[in-house]
Chains A and B, each alone.
Chain A
């Protein structure tokens, strides 16, 4: 388990202080894929770098499996870092060493016996799908392949945590997806806790189970990805969610709508129960879809529909009540 306790990071410059991370406390459970989302400058990168103390927090504790890393001596910290893998947006491989040597470097840092290194390098390359690239230099690889080498290096010493610092931000959408798939596989197969920071909501939606949103150094919202996607509370969170699932209806359309416009939210199984069609049959209302989708987050369906309801006001109200009884969350977007 990874725990941040009241982490504050202040950057001192000439004559002013800049607060990078502002009193953040977070618990990340073993096996989580935890996404930290925010715009650049929100402090997410600083927070992540506090985990392996690439940056020392000005205040607060980082507990990795109960051990406070800030209290360790430099050699103890090195040993602790062996168990915390990290990958980067720009990969940061040693350009003058082959793929195999780059991975072997991490193994040598852990004082792996010489005769075991090569075998382990082969294993790791197989795991990331680069078996034939052992003797190639990083410059000859594509971005996605470089990140795979980065992942192999990070996993070399069987870490319990993998930190991903904008790991897919320099990659194209297709490569991003393949890297995310690999990360998910690693999480499932090896049980490694993954903490990733990103400004791309897609990444979170794709693989994270829990997430936090950061703004101005603070965590403003935190929870299960599914719940946050279903009902984001803070405006910034809504903004991020809108970047992947948007329900904006053009004013032109809204202007011409005669009935009441409602937004329906179906979580989990409710999404598949045909609540809307039942309602239409039971009540004398006319429904007209304006927008809608069913998203699958963490393999759970999340149905969101925007529709216009036409009919007697009392009937419309009854219909809404019925849908609420059936488990839908009803929100009025526009009254008649």
Chain B
């Protein structure tokens, strides 16, 4: 069932696919943190009873986030082809795939950030308001530090979701491990590749989870 010599000959392909996966996840993660983090903070501070309470803003962004999250990823992927074409110039390859991955991951991560912030004791925020702190200080020195560990855990979750999404993106021209698994494992009944890709993904996800958790723990001073 598992043909080891064949596996060895396929190693360069597997390695290339793995790199492609890492590239698309890396780009998508960077973008979703860059946009999702502020978006999550915005969703939180515009909520009822907080210092930038604003129903209008909250509803608009909340709606946009829910909208994207309710579209199945495989459909989002295809629907975003025109946008991808404009941004990257092509719809093929890991960089192109990272566009729709980012679009999917931004609202996901934003919601995780929002819920991390919600876990902070409101009293702590109130105490800093009483001290006379500006909203910006509260975000920078209270909200983000207090939620740091849970946000790290959110990043871990986002990466793991991205791994799953990246496999889907692979099937429609994104490349990477998912593409390899479909082409060899599914279309050609190549069990060796199928098993190897599954094992690689399992190890990859376990590693991310482990590193993320360790990091989150080491940062938490509670």
Contacts and interface: CB of A to CB of B under 8 A. Distances in A.
Partners in one complex: yes
Interface of A: 52, 54, 78-82, 84-86, 88, 90, 92-97, 105-106, 108-110, 137-139, 150, 153-154, 156-157, 163
Given A94-B142, A94-B145, A109 B134 contact: yes
Interface of B: 121, 123-124, 126-134, 137, 141-142, 145-146, 148, 219-222
Given A54-B126, A86-B127, A95-B124, 14 more contacts: A81-B129, A81-B130, A81-B132, A88-B127, A92-B121, A92-B123, A94-B142, A94-B145, A95-B222, A106-B133, A108-B137, A109-B137, A156-B131, A163-B130
Contacts of A154: 131
A96 B146 contact: yes
Given A95-B222, A96-B221, A97-B141, A109 B126 contact: no
Nearest to A55: B126
B141 to A, nearest CB: 6
Among B126, B130, B141, B146, find the residue whose CB has the most chain A CB atoms closer than 10 A: B130
Instruction: Tell me the interface secondary structure of chain B in the complex.
Output: helix
A79 B131 CA distance: 9
B124 A92 contact: yes
A154 B146 CA distance: 20
Q: From DSSP, what is the main secondary structure of chain A's interface residues?
A: mixed
Contacts of A137: 221-222
A84 B130 contact: yes
Contacts of A105: 128, 131, 133, 137, 141-142
A78 B132 contact: yes
A157 B221 contact: no
A95 B221 contact: yes
Contacts of A106: 131-133
Contact of B146 (A80, A94, A108): A94
B221 A139 contact: yes
A52 B126 CA distance: 11
Contacts of A108: 137, 141
